[in-house]
Chains A and B, each alone.
Chain A
Amino acid sequence: MKRSKITTWLFWLIPLVFLAVFFYQPLLNIFRLVFSDRFNQGWQFFSLETLLRPLLFTLWQAFLSTVLTLVIGLPAAYLFAKFDFPGRKGLRALSLLPFILPTVVVATAFNTLLGPRGWLNLILMDLFNLSNPPLSLLNSLPGILLAHVFYNTSIVIRLVENSLTRLNPHFEEAARALGANPWRVFREVSLPLLMPSILSATLLVFLFDFTSFGVVLMLGGPQYATLEVEIYNQAMNRFNLPMASLLSIIQLAVTLLITSLQNRISTPRYGKAALSAESKTRVKAKTRLEKLYVAVSVILLLILFVAPILSLVSRSLITMEAERGERGEIETGFTLRYYTELFQNRSGSVFYANPLAAIRNSLVFSLLTMLIASALGLLSAYALAGSGRLTRFLEPLFMLPLGASAVILGLGFLISFNRAVWVGGHFPILIPIAHSLIALPFVVRTILPAIRSIPASLREAAQSMGANPWRVFREVDLPILLRAIIVSLAFSFTISLGEFGASSFLSSAQTPTIPTLIFRYISLPGALNYGQALAMSTLLLITSTAGSLLIEKIRFPGEELF
């Protein structure tokens, strides 16, 4: 008994030390510096309005985005949990794609689809003989909302589908046998059982929308600023650091509030019996209504997930020089030029990077992130699995990195680790560390419920038969956790692959990652550069898809045991 307590403390200690050194320390350092007398001249521009306006807008757009995401995500989760249909697996994998795409790519993809000269407007102009693009979704609130739905629907699908499939069928059967009609079964049995996961997904989506940065900056235009955008603006453009820090503290406080709420909600209230570890088998749609439901949902999801991606890929392969007087002479059609051009250093620049080199850099960072985040996440999840008061107090500390402003944390990193001996000047070890901070909350969130679902009786049985703790872990816990571990490996891998902010902040220009290279191309004028940015985005898409598929294919020995 005593030994297990010591192990628990160790489990706590390692992730806590990591967070203390790489999260809380830089954050405190920057706050301490910024609120010192040196920087107080920023206060002359302080007004309640500069605080309230971004806060209210952030809450408002997060609320709208979350509602919309649920409207699409919940029926989709039901679809994946209940029905078997051709292409189910593929569509489900596809739904994860948006999550891993960097905002630069998503903004570009939306532009190629919905922009003034995007496919949709071109088609509409052609159909109705219009001379001007009829839709203007970019630089508007609907643009922001759409991008948020695109990004976050997969979270609702994953979380709710999971508990839908694990809903113990006996509960519903019992209710039905007692004479309840389907609506009543749903309202009084299924819904309460599903509520924790729905609320948990809701809060997580809300949190993401709340801290959204790139989407709002790139698709929202200058009229809209969320807290995170305003923090960036105040810190980097106005150099009003006290104001930026104050805003980021507000953002942290709201995050803390949301994660504590989430923590309270996701504790199961109905005992373990309600959720079975076994997955229910899915059925083919039988009635006409069911068939209609499947068909409509699949088509909607295809439009949501596939259209922007397809539009991006197609624009990287097609030159477009249309209906513009003098430029009619230029050929329109299929081209691989943007891809072949990626391999040429036309200007002989020292910063030129072969796309393969960028892919290699990205892969190295991602693999390191995957290892660090998953190892720490597993330890943290075990530490948090206990139900003491301490746990309830500490869990939000692990979730807080979700709400940290990237700019403020980045500046904190710079003043804390500037030329630190152990990082060897600008050796980019800080990149996977920063990525791990971002990925850690996801990993914990994924593994924790799985650990909590392990019946204590199984472990006790193994122990009583003489298994040592390591063997109990290997033969009881691991097989149950495997699914969650693999998911979190894939999560941390792809989060790191698509991350742009920290990578550009912390790396030297000669070790670009895929996202930083995309950004380099898109910030230069010229058709070729734009095409190369699209081509590089497509390569990122392929790399991350291949990576996550590969990880999902991993089978550990012993998995068949369960």
Chain B
Amino acid sequence: MSKKTILILFTLFFILAACQPTAAPASPQTLTVITHDSFSVSKELVTQFEEANNAKLVFIQGGDTGSVLNRLILTSVNNDLPEADVFYGLDNTFLSRALEHDLFEPYQAEALAKIPTEFQLDPSSKVLPVDYGDVCINYDKAYFKENNLSLPTSLQDLTRPEYKGLLVVENPATSSPGLAFMFATIAEFGEEGWLSWWQAMRENQVTVVSDWETAYYTNFSGSSGKGPQSMVVSYASSPAAELIYAQTELSESPTASLVAPGMCWRQIEFVGILKNSPHRELAEKFVDFLFSKDFQEDVPMQMFVFPVLPEAVLPEDFVIASQIPEVTGSLDPALIAQNRDQWINDWTETVIN
């Protein structure tokens, strides 16, 4: 045999081998999950899922929820294939926009039967609730104690002179907690009254900053930034994070949340399988995995939000420092979709310009 024939034989062999439909150990399928920047999950659980399903999970974090959604809408226009297989983290404020653009395929997961119906906002099951959290005002405990100041028990209280200049909020046009808090005020005071509350807050010297990072670390006196304002719009779980991520062990969190009725806004996060995902079966398995007790119990410590599965047990530190408001504001998602831009414009006119 000449060298040439050997070469040809080898080539043929490789071509045949490549055409073989079932090569012995199938290479793992890649499932792409697109999500917001705050998403996190234990490495251990990811590995478990990957091994059990012969899969590789790739996560894309595309900014905040709104940015990810907009990006998905845009890339869905002229493409047959979606940018990712699964979107984790759509919330109730963006629900209508997402459904309007028809991004998801319905999936009737078995576990839905166990999830409280108050979380199930999409009857078509295109998106399924996975976790929830509350946007509330955090306060600096030490400041209130030192100044013998009583805690405000309603949003209306915040317009009183003793709280003058003490609150920092985020601009709803640029920040998702800021937007959530704006919704809380609309839910509390109604479409007629909410702007006059903001007007009163403006007169009471409310501070507005662009993003949560600045509000929390630069302006808020209860965080390590030690700023001038003793109240900040943040999450009901932030005090737990202060406790868990303290630099020296603390017996209690330096901050707490104001959770009186009407002061908080509940964000429910959803997961959905994107339309035309080439890995539909694996995507379903991933969604099932999200409803497993393991993942639901992982959620608090990873993302500082609460699981939707009632049987999930919360970690101790988390229970100590987080408060769950009993009554939170809510608005019809369709109403939000219809008025979001107008409300933001009105807010800007009233509070900034």
Contact = CB atoms under 8 A, between A and B. Distances in A.
B58 interface: yes
Contact of A529 (B44, B62, B245): B245
B85 to A, nearest CB: 11
Nearest to B71: A414
Given A324-B226, A350-B59, 14 more contacts: A115-B218, A115-B225, A133-B228, A239-B97, A241-B74, A347-B302, A348-B44, A351-B61, A418-B83, A505-B63, A509-B61, A526-B242, A526-B246, A529-B241
Contact of B212 (A115, A330, A419, A523): A523
Is chain A's interface secondary structure helix, strand, loop, or mixed overall? Answer: loop
A525 B246 CA distance: 10
B78 A222 contact: no
Interface stretch (A4-12, A20-28, A229-237, A290-298): A229-237
A312 interface: no
Interface in A92-119: 111, 115-117
Given A238-B173, A331-B248, A522 B44 contact: no
B146 A415 contact: no
Interface in A489-534: 504-505, 508-510, 519-520, 522-531
A411 B219 CA distance: 33
Contacts of A349: 40-43, 302
Contact of B71 (A117, A221, A335, A411): A411
Interface of A: 33, 38, 45, 111, 115-117, 132-133, 138-139, 217-218, 220-223, 233, 235-241, 319-320, 322, 324-327, 330-331, 335, 337, 345, 347-352, 411, 414-415, 418-419, 425-426, 504-505, 508-510, 519-520, 522-531
B200 interface: no
Given A350-B42, A525-B241, A117 B226 contact: yes
B81 interface: yes
A116 B174 contact: no
B213 interface: yes
Nearest 10 interchain pairs by C-beta: A526-B245, A117-B226, A222-B171, A527-B224, A528-B245, A525-B241, A509-B59, A350-B43, A509-B61, A116-B227
B79 interface: yes
Most chain A beta-carbon contacts within 10 A, residue among B40, B42, B352 = B40
A334 to B, nearest CB: 13
8 contacts: A45-B345, A139-B214, A238-B344, A239-B97, A345-B43, A351-B40, A426-B58, A522-B217
Nearest to A32: B78
Interface stretch (B16-24, B114-122, B203-211, B262-270): B203-211
Most chain A beta-carbon contacts within 10 A, residue among B77, B216, B224, B244 = B224
Contacts of A330: 248
B226 A221 contact: no
Contacts, number: 190
A448 B30 CA distance: 46
Contacts of A337: 247
A523 to B, nearest CB: 6
A525 B242 contact: yes
B67 interface: yes
Interface residues of B, number: 75
B66 interface: yes
Interface string B66-80: 110011011101110
Given A238-B341, A325-B142, A327-B254, A350 B46 contact: yes
Interface in B47-65: 58-64
A154 to B, nearest CB: 26
A527 B70 CA distance: 33
Interface string B300-328: 01101000000000000000000000000
Contacts of B212: 523
Given A133-B228, A237-B66, A349-B42, A415 B74 contact: yes
A220 B214 CA distance: 11
Given A132-B228, A241-B74, A425 B246 contact: no
B159 interface: no
Contacts of A411: 71, 74
A345 B44 CA distance: 12
A327 B66 contact: no
A419 B77 contact: no
B30 A520 contact: no
Nearest to B72: A414
B234 interface: yes
A111 B238 CA distance: 21
B229 to A, nearest CB: 9
A394 B39 CA distance: 45
Nearest to A319: B247
B213 to A, nearest CB: 6
